[in-house]
Structure 1
Amino acid sequence: MTNRQNRIRTALSTALAPDFLEVDDESALHAGHAGASPAGETHYSIKVWSKSFEGLNRVEIHRKINETLQSEFDSGLHALSIKVIRPT
């Protein structure tokens, strides 16, 4: 697990108290693409659900996540794929 991956997990866990959270570093898949760094830690995907999302639409949920991770975007996170996993 990378340092940024740990920070993303910690930030989202603290802010959202998620019922489900999966954070994957996909930087290697984007080598050579815009925003990619040879050192990695630039492209991530998350799957998440939190009770704090109830009553929010998809845009509001994404905004909440992106605001939570603003410091990561400011320090080199280039892309974040977000999948909201709603309970069935």
Structure 2
Amino acid sequence: MATMAEQIEARIVAALHPASLEIIDDSHLHSGHAGHRAGGESHFTVIVKAAAFEGLSRVARQRAVYTALGDLMAPDRIHALVIRADTPDT
């Protein structure tokens, strides 16, 4: 089975065709906090640059990422997600 980071990557690539994509598992920073799981893979930062974000507000860009992730955003899958979504030239 693919890791959560691999699933995140696959869905964002398929939906947004990013020029660049970085996925960081921040789970170790949240040990003892709500939503943390012993195996990690609960808290992530996604840094994505995609032409698909041209003309979209910051909120609309974040919504596009959430839409791409779909059911991965269920509380028992990804607990927290930080999104930095820019166009390739920013």
Q: What is the correspondence of 1:28-43 to structure 2 with a 5 Å cutoff? A: 28-43=28-43
3-state DSSP of counterpart to 1:33: coil
* Count of aligned pairs between the two proteins: 87
Residues 4, 41 of structure 2: 8 Å contact kept: yes
The aligned runs of 1:1-88 (5 Å cut-off) are 3-74=3-74, 75-86=76-87, 87-88=89-90
Taking structure 2 as the reference length, the TM-score comes to 0.89
1:15: how far off?
A: 0.4
In the superposition, the TM-score normalised over structure 1's length comes to 0.90
Q: CA RMSD in A?
A: 1.4
Note the C-alpha offset of 1:68.
1.2
Contact 2:53 2:85 in 1 (8 A): no
List per-residue Cα deviations over 1:39-79 (Å, max 9, x = no partner).
Answer: 21100001111001001100000011011112111241001
SS at match of 1:69: helix
Contact 2:53 2:86 in 1 (8 A): no
- Looking at structure 2, the residues matched to 44 and 10 of structure 1 have their Cα atoms a distance apart, in angstroms, of 15
> Gapped runs of 5+ residues in structure 1?
none
Query: Structure 2 regions of 5+ residues with no counterpart?
Result: none
